[in-house]
Amino acid sequence: MSEFAPSSESASSEPIRLLLGDDQELVRVGFRMVLDAQHDMTVVGEVGDGQQAIDFVLNAPPERRPHVALMDIRMPILDGVAATREIVDNSDTAVLMLTTFDLDEYVYSALQAGASGFLLKDAGPTELLAAIRAVASGDAVVAPSATRRLLERFVPSLGTGDGEGDAKARLAQLTEREREVLTLVGQGLNNTEIAETLFLGAATVKTHIGHILAKLALRDRVHMVVFAYDAGLVHPHI
């Protein structure tokens, strides 16, 4: 099957509404061709800068309000990091950032602003579609190898602000199984892969992740990855 083929998932359910934010029209056109070919996705808008992204999300009628904003980090007027902060703080729209290795210094700032994950701008259609579906379902995109490399490069120097000692002390709140799940999340495994590795059901993995987030007061899956590095459960391969 072609990787551009429309998804067969639940055509009867409401499609994922998407906003494309990039100052390069050709990039938006390329993404739109792939996304509009999916039965479970629809592009509801395109913008060329961060301020336009904020205005679209906050002012769109409910039927056009995007579930996910796919947004470049560096844009004119207002960059993607500042736009992400406003969008996440004032709406239910999740943000999936686009980045390139020469813009790595923005990665952690965008995580702190509430981004649900990252893709490299040259990601293939399969990776793009999987990331969008994950973010739309409330997950965070930390599994793709490109995102792992970005986190491995920047998390050790930036951290969560806890410090390794504090992070390790907080691990005492977790059960042995929860530590295993946290470690695998930190290694970039998704829920299905964790379930297969630990011989658990997918629902059980979700329950463990919910407990971990609550016990450690972490916002989302991306911050679980950052915490796993801080606590020494996962080490960068640089």
pLDDT in tens, 174-210: 999 999 999 998 887 878 889 999 999 989 999 999 9
Among 197, 227, 232, 200, CA closest to 212: 227
Helices 202-216 and 176-186: crossing angle, nearest 10°?
90
pTM of full prediction above 0.75? no
Q: Are residues 167 and 198 in the same domain?
A: yes
Name the stretches of the chain with pLDDT < 50: 1-12, 143-144, 158, 238
Domain-embedded: residue 6 = no
CA 191 to chain centre: 14
Among 84, 134, 91, 131, CA closest to 111: 84
Q: Are residues 98 and 142 in the same domain?
A: yes
Task: Enumerate residues 6+ apart whose C-beta is below 8 A from 68.
Answer: 16, 17, 18, 19, 93, 94, 95, 96, 132, 135, 136
pLDDT for the residue 43: 97
Q: Are residues 100 and 192 in the same domain?
A: no
Domain-embedded: residue 5 = no
**Count of domains in the chain?**
2
pLDDT for the residue 139: 75
Domain-embedded: residue 66 = yes
Q: Which of 118, 153, 188 is the last residue of a domain?
A: 153
The parent domain of residue 189 ranges over 161-230
